[in-house]
Amino acid sequence: MAFEEPLKQLRERSERALAMGGPEKLAKRKAEGHLNARERIDYLADKDSFFESGRFAAGIRPEVRAKTPADGKVAGFARVNGREVALVSNDFTVLGASSSVINMKKIRHTKETANKRGLPLILLGESSGARMPDRMGSAGRSIIAQDPIEYQRLREVPWVSALLGPCYGSSTWYSAMSDFVVMRKGAIMAIASPNVTSIAINKKIEAEDLGGWKLLTGISGLVDMAVDTDEQALDAVKTFLSYLPSHRNEAPPVHPVLAGSDEPCKGMLEIVPESRNQVYDVRKVIKAVADIDSAFEVKERFGKSLCTMLARIDGRSVGFIANNPLFKGGALDADACQKVISFMVLCDSYNIPLVYLVDVPGFLIGVEGELRGMPGKVINWMNAMTQVTVPKITVIMRKSYGQAYINMAGNKNADEVAVWPTADLGFMDPAVSVNILYGVKKEDDPERFAELIKEVQRDTSAWGLAELYDAQNVIDPRDTRAFLKRTLEVHRLRMNNGVGQHKLANWPTSY
């Protein structure tokens, strides 16, 4: 047969690449309940849609060339729910998926293709960091940092990262640059491994304490979601992308609306208590106004006094920013500021309208906040919000006090403002106002205190704001979904086919 020998070599080399790090290492992963790099792609991608790039790549150094199939990173293109994507899946069975001269070229090509051709980029992380022999000495220095824009993020296309094992080096850097990061519990993300870190600081440190899921989702906020299995992480990747366009120059996809989606909002009076001092979970409010089964929370464990959630209204993607009185009474702290800015950047970069649900007593004051630079964070928030070019719709449900009234898109910071009849637009809690302004406490002079409470509450109702036309509507809480459906339709970005100006596209990914 013609070409028999070349085709035989092709088959053999392909088999070696597909065998990855060998049967023993693959069996060990399977016993641990984790997918390997190619199984992750098979689970994520539509059947038979993966188009590999660089299957026959190998390490550049002669001593490792024969034992680095695909050079430890499986890269290429696939379809996910019918949509073309670019992806890289790190193969930990090959030298710990360490970053090398060759496999970084694969990442660069995949990333550049995604940005040029409008494809979401998916990074399935698990790596031991840099391949030291490639990086050592003057020669090692000369081959790194050859791409001056390697770490540039202009948010042309969505980047999604899944942390599925030990993640050091490039897996860490690309996760810190991504729009959404999901982590399997038990995975670790840090600058360097626990062993290296322990030696550097001369103190034993455990992996979970260095970069475990509780730290990353609840303290640093670098990870948006933690799940139990590889499959759940990959499902989260699919779900997140379903809200976003493939690139910034198109509107998000429109999905079918499940029957009965108008019904839950009719029970709003049972969700939100009439008393402004009684707590509730604002996530129930969002789920009541959004299409059924469309709510997807981002950074649930971080900055919990503020909820950021992707959802759909009438089949179209919406980003909810909502105070949650269930945590710290809804008061905004440093973490909440960081959280809301990153969410506004996400939504504005990918043409997703914002809905603010407001019940905020103000910013959390105190020494801790000042030590963390709260004044700067408050103004960063305002700076980012003034550059948002997607529609912003505000619904003031109960409290909206002080500077937080402005930050939560009050007045001209929104395209449309509605208030519930229960809205309270004072500068601060009335009891606190009376104490500060008049020096009167309830326990000292109940009668005088009651009189002064009425005085400071004058003109702070929903009707006062509506009379000034700083709120365009006063609505029944049970009509909130109907109001949002109609208002979002009115304010759709028709002049630009649903595409905003992306003024926040190069906002820092972490700060």
What would the pLDDT profile of 58-96 be if each residue is shown by its tens digit? 998 889 888 999 999 999 999 999 999 999 999 999 998
Give the domain range for residue 454.
426-460
Q: Provide the residue count of the chain.
A: 511
45: pLDDT strictly greater than 80: yes
- Domain check: are 92 and 74 in the same one? yes
CA distances to 36, 99, 353, 369 from 391, rounded to whole Å, are 42, 42, 5, 31
312: pLDDT strictly greater than 90: yes
- In this prediction, what percent of the chain has a pLDDT beyond 70? 91
* Residue 509 placed within a domain: no
Give the domain-ending residue among 213, 243, 273. Answer: 243
Per-residue pLDDT band at 253 (split at 50, 70, 90)? very high
CA distances to 45, 313, 368, 422 from 371, rounded to whole Å, are 46, 40, 5, 35
* Residue 280 placed within a domain: yes
Contact 433, 455 (CB under 8 A): no
* Residue 503 placed within a domain: no
Per-residue pLDDT band at 429 (split at 50, 70, 90)? low
- Domain check: are 316 and 348 in the same one? yes
How many domains does the chain divide into?
Answer: 3
Question: What pTM, to 2 d.p., does this model score?
Answer: 0.92
pLDDT at 382: 96
pLDDT at 430: 61
End-to-end CA distance of the chain: 62
- Domain check: are 359 and 382 in the same one? yes
- Domain check: are 124 and 198 in the same one? yes
- Domain check: are 484 and 434 in the same one? no
pLDDT at 238: 98
- Domain check: are 300 and 199 in the same one? no
* Residue 256 placed within a domain: no
Contact 150, 126 (CB under 8 A): no
- Domain check: are 111 and 156 in the same one? yes
- Domain check: are 391 and 431 in the same one? no
Give the domain-ending residue among 187, 213, 243. Answer: 243
- Domain check: are 431 and 330 in the same one? no
Give the domain-ending residue among 181, 209, 243. Answer: 243
- Domain check: are 277 and 192 in the same one? no
- Domain check: are 284 and 326 in the same one? yes
* Residue 255 placed within a domain: no
CATH of the domain at 96: 3.90.226.10
* Residue 252 placed within a domain: no
